[in-house]
Structure 1
Amino acid sequence: MRAGNIKQFTRFSQFTNVGEFNEHKKNFLEDHHQLFTKSEFMAFELLSQYSVVVPGVANAKIDTLVERSSEKGAGVSRASFIRMLRKAKKAGILVVYKTYRSSGGFAHNVFVFQRFDPPSETEVIHRENDESAGDSKAVHAENETETINLLINHQDQKINIRKENVQTNTTPVNPSLKDLDETFTPGNVPNEFIQAVKPFYNRAIEIYRFWQKARLAYIKYTFDMPLEFMVPVVIDAFKTTVFHYKHRKIKTTFVQYFYGTLCGMFGVQKRKEHMAKKPRYNWLDAVECE
């Protein structure tokens, strides 16, 4: 990526204004209140202050940020900035791109803050039959052959009760976020993706969270092709995750495994895109006729 003015990187911003950026940053810090040390938190806040011209995007060298912190009396060390960046990237709130001068050599970094929605009020995955710690190995082996139901059946029943109450009661109903089904999913989520996910996760907030993870993985690879043209890859990653979940191969959460699987698939797509740009050597034209 070529170095340049901050306006050059507007396309990376995920926020419409500074207020929206601050709201997502606040949600992240509330959910990860023990992630940073005091000095790392100061580094995070300083970087945020340099991300308002283009909401959520900053272009600066780490040494420059360290120097600015000293001028403001904060005195954050370079090591603290490095630790903060490492933690922020791992937590998924920050993506860092390197830029290069046209004459060659490394220039400044481009720091891109990611959107962070509060955790869903519903659990991500519910199994049809919960296993207890005292289950025998025989019962455990038997359960592995059973089909795992990813939908939240008992909550579906609650919603049906609410629907019946609406028909018999004139009192206005104010459904919570967890009660909204897939028809309430924001319009920027492709319908093909919604249809693929809803048999397993039929809440709008859950489907939207998966798509946000897909956007996060997409941004890491700076594709030339828009994400909307790569929906089949995203769906394939989701189906792969479901397959491994049903075989109990997942050691982390379902969402984390989906994100990691998609990053791997996007890595393959990026290599294909890169190879397609390379000029091919025409050895037939290179042969001299005698």
Structure 2
Amino acid sequence: MKAGNIEQFKHLSQFRDLIDFNNNIEQWMIDLKSKFTKSELIALKRLIRFSAKVAGVCHAKIQTLVSACHEKGQEISRSTYERMLRKAKKFGLLIVYNTTKENGKQSHNVYVFQRYQSQIVSDSSTIDVPESAKIDGAYKTNILSKTSNQNNINKRNEQKENKLDASYTSNRVPEEFRDFVKYFFDDAKTIEEFWKIITIQTYYYASYMSVDDKVSLAIDAMKQLIRIVKFGRKVRNVFGYYYAIVEAILDREYVNTLHEMYEEYAS
């Protein structure tokens, strides 16, 4: 591969735009942050910043990247950077392409970040839900009933045959939420079900919650769900657990609002 301007490597980008790239990196970090030392994380974050012009692609000298860390008061060595790169390649986070100059001599590498591949949830029917996450009400009953049927081992093959990936998700689901959730649940019906929970939970907040507010809530709750799963807690019913998380967030915000109103009135 010939060395050149970063623009000539656009075709290597795995991401739609910078937001898509950042979302993928955030998911990678949930899995991999603990695998890197503090110095290696500094190196990785600097490489990520240098991969913004073309989302997920960097064409720079290692010494340039090391120097950029030093300029920010984060002194790391070249060997630390190289060690970070070896780990990133091992985990599948990066692919490194060698480039050559016109005279055939080796030039600096092209670093290409890869899309996140979830290692924790391949089928929502395999996750257990604890008693503490169970909720009351008709929607809980419907969810549990529906999920129970989906969890039926005898029907799994049939479900997989009828499964549609995230690209078939209804346009009623905001794109940002769909793109975030698909890294863990690449199934249109599952994503729609998660958004349905948000719609139900925010029904009485419609007058002052914008779509962006709902998306922010939905993603925050999803991060908490994934975090819980990654910490080893078994969740049989992801929908019931997600419902409980969303409910808890809204309850907390409601209480905080009351406190703020009281303080304003008292003053």
TM-score, structure 1 normalization: 0.45
User: Relative to total residues, which structure has the larger helix share, 1 or 2?
Assistant: 2
Structure (1 or 2) with the larger CA radius of gyration: 1
TM-score, structure 2 normalization: 0.49
